[in-house]
Structure 1
Amino acid sequence: MRGEDRRQIQTAVLGGAESEEPLMLPLEAIELDAFRRRHEHQTFWCGLLLGGCGLQLTTKLYTDRVCHFAHHPGPDGHPHLCGRRARGVSSADHLYVKSAAAAWLRDRDAQAEFEFVQPDGVPIGSVVDIRFSRGGLRVHLDQAVAPSWDRDGHEPVLGVSVPVDRDILIDRWYVHRIRLDSEGTARRVQIGTEAFARDTEWFALDDCRMTERGLSTPAVEQIVRSRSTRPVTQWGVGRAKKAPPARVRAEVLLRKLADAVRVESSFVVSRVLRDIADLTGVEGETKAKLEAAVSDAEAWLEDQVRVRRELFSQLEEALAARDALEVRRLLARVNAIASHDRTADEITTTDAAAAFVAEQQQLYAQHLQAEMAAKLADHQDARARRAAGRVQTLLATLQRREAEQSVKAMRKLVRELTHAASDAGDHVTADQKEQIGVWKTRADIGRPPAQSARPAPALGAPQAMRHEQVARRYWIKRKCPRCQAVAGKNCVSNARTGTGAVSKIPHYERIELILAERRATAASRRRAPGPYAIACPDCGKPPGERCLSPNGGVHRSRAERAREARR
């Protein structure tokens, strides 16, 4: 089992666990002071959309290392365990992409729907779908999901770490890139245009626009213009005679063929060979060059067929052996160099490989969840064992200090004992549960107010004062229900075994029986009506008024009725 994840958390969300408002913590202590003042009345959370646990975070300031977010410790003081995978400065990039794209669209009076999709169970944040009324964009921030170039209506936008096949660059003319640069506590979106044999050009999002072709940058517009128009050549007086059109086309096709072989693009090589076969009017040296180039290209294609056949054979063997790492590696290579003109058998093999990879990813995710659950169970069990040790210590402390401690101190220890027993759960023994129940009764904890109500002098009074309410001649006649001291014997300190030092002060339980009887007798007397509480049947005087007897006393019939009511 792996140890606790101690990677530093650099991103959070504001306001709540389900918030979509990201922010990044400054790395330097001098910047963190200003950050705290700026967000003084806001809260930071390990957001669910960050793959976090949904609990609140705090900021940690350091002068000897980078500052970072941290979870609040658990109730037992131990660090909180969070299964969040992405914790670095880029872990909230999908939220920054949505925020920047939404603002960009609002400025252009456009609307779109956003979704953080998770195909094949990949972690949240790898892919962001932006859907418009007529199309959309799929932003791949990492390599977890391979881009689909044939999916209608979703133009891929690739993160800087996502590879792209050279055939794709040649066939599509260009691809879109995206990167996020840190600016203070936020991330700024940049859109790039990558084309074959050209460096990637980067632009701010405001320099981009949506066209019928999809997302467009200034570089895209230049590439489209260069592909859509022919260069105009002005021939002056005395210049050489213009080359025949067939010869010019042949030279262009020879260059395309050489470039396609150099980048190992079977698809483009086959397409250029078809264009050469359709070319007419070529003679002499140019025709010889074409024939030689075609012969070399056909031999190269035959060799690529062998390589492709071996690649699919290796993929089938890896599938049969259920070698997940090898299947993943070969599938990526197949998608890179053999993505066109697949046979039915090749399609079946790649589909089976993709399903196997997805299955392995799901099994790995389940393994991680089970591992985290086991780690949490071990943590909870260790916490319960520590609480059980605390229960044992508190019971011993209460027993040792029984004679000299005040009721206030005793109640404080009993409350702590109750909390420790709750955390210990099943680790508390039956004997300990019985002792805890006795101490809760003595401390008036856990009983309804009506049952725990007692006369004012007894509440909060020291134990010696309770003893003074009952003379020794009364309680010594009773057996102690706690230490089992028989009538005529004093209580002993070790109540569990009935042994130990003899105490002059009786246990609370021994005198509580007598006090309870006295309270019951007093309550019955308070409830019994006196003679003047009822009307007189002789003289008719109502309750509260004296009788009209010759001697001024109460009539006999009134007194007898009052006695009957008290029975």
Structure 2
Amino acid sequence: MRRDRRQIQTAVVGSADSEEPLVLPLEAIELDAFRSLHENDSFWCGLLLGGCGGQLTTKLYTDRVCHFAHHPGPDGQPHVCGRRARSVNSADHLYVKSAAAAWLHNRGTQADVGFAQPDGTPLGSVVDIQLAHKRLRVHLDQSVAPEWDSPHEPVLGISVPVDQDTLIKRWYVHRIRLDSEGTSRRVRIGTEAFARPTEWFFLEECDVTERGLSTPAVERIIQAHSTPEPARWTPGQKQKTSPQDERAQELMRRLLYARRTESPDLTATVCREITELSGAGPQLQGRLDAAHHSASLWVEKELESRRTLISLLDQAVGTRKLRQIQSLIKQAKKATKVDQTRQEKEAIHAAVDYLAAEIPATVNRLDALLEEVSFIPANGAPELLSRKVHQISREIDELGRVGKGVPHQRAQLALWEERLKSLLVLPPASTAPGPLHQLVGRGYWTTKVCPLCGADHGQQCVILDGPRTGQLRETPHADRLRLLIGEIKERQTEDIRRAPTVWQVYDVTCPVCQKEPGAWCQTPGRPHALRYKLAADFTQQRKPNSKEKNRQRDIEQAAPGAPEL
């Protein structure tokens, strides 16, 4: 079986048969916080995901998205898994089951939720929800066509088509979508009707009635079909509307605006005004009560989420967890972009200031390390020099992580990284007798596929023989390191070859007064004009001068293969 190289973005927690899914963050900065949060959890290629049941590990990358990966097999070879669905939405059926069960439980409704596989359909395409008086079938993809005349009510994924005749006949159909929120997915229910845009709602805003699944949009659609055509307006006849009804309609418009702008403060204010209103018509009052209930739940959940986020940020600053601080700052800024309170603003500023204060401390440590390196003999202490270079590498990584949370420091950090990473390419030639892994910076060890054990880009080499076969090696195989050193030398050689050759006027012998290179002409002012012309001709003809000969010598010294162990 050929190895499937598609990246795994979802897993289950705890065991292979677990129903608790999670999504791996795509960015390296978010994966650091994810690892800290789940340091005591194990991840599995779940059986309910169509996986092999093997244990997974997380892979962090800065040049591509992060993902889960299987552990190598006992023989050290990459694990082969036949799992078909691996993307972010591959665990949506588990999220649907969990969300539906929690929603119905909170409503005091008993229901059975299962994964149907009619006619051999792939696991996860269909989710069946059996209620006491109604059955819902969720179609997450197009593998199973919806049956409109069957006992169960279809709920369609966003990729499942529906024709206009069905919309006209049924008045509306329900849709489902899942939005990523951190390492989870949140369910939204949409109502689509003919000549109407799809309206989306959270599960908490939906209901289950004798007709089946219902949303606030369903009530409006049924009312529009059931209400007789209003009498035509004629000039001179003024429509009578009570002040309470006008006030109720105004509050509905303001509440809709508050929800669309995701403003908890404005939403809470409108909710208070709704509770103070009395005397509206029965129908309008019912709509107001439903909107008030939904908005109040949203405000409570939003404020609780923000309080939790700020509390975690304060804890991370107190415990000096730099990676967690950086991730939480980003989340807090996004969550509090509207109606930011003074406490939230102070907490975010304190975290940013803490990161900014860590930059000079890290830079000072790097300065001290560079000074120590400058006093190490080039040929007298290769092990000490290598250890210092690796220590500098770790400090550079820490500086980069800290600096990403402080925007005004990014230009300075870029200069530091360029200056310091030059130490990680290759130590001085005099340190060559040391082990090969000391000749290549640790950050470059996994940038090539190992020709011996087959470790992929970003993966450590594994032990191929002995009692520890299959375990990760502390250092890469020598064959992998030789590839890296050869590539580095090729780049150095190419840089030398591309260097321009320019002849200066005193690099040539004067054709008039015969003065040797480096000697001034006998003229009292400038050199002879023919000497200028000769230097320009040699530059145009790319004749090698003394500097060019030195470069050729450097090429010859850099050309030999990688040093032996």
Q: Give the TM bin, normalised by the shorter chain.
A: 0.3 to 0.5
TM-score of the pair, normalised by structure 2: 0.42
Of structures 1 and 2, the one with the larger relative CO (CA 8 A, separation 6+) is 2
TM-score of the pair, normalised by structure 1: 0.41
Larger radius of gyration: 1
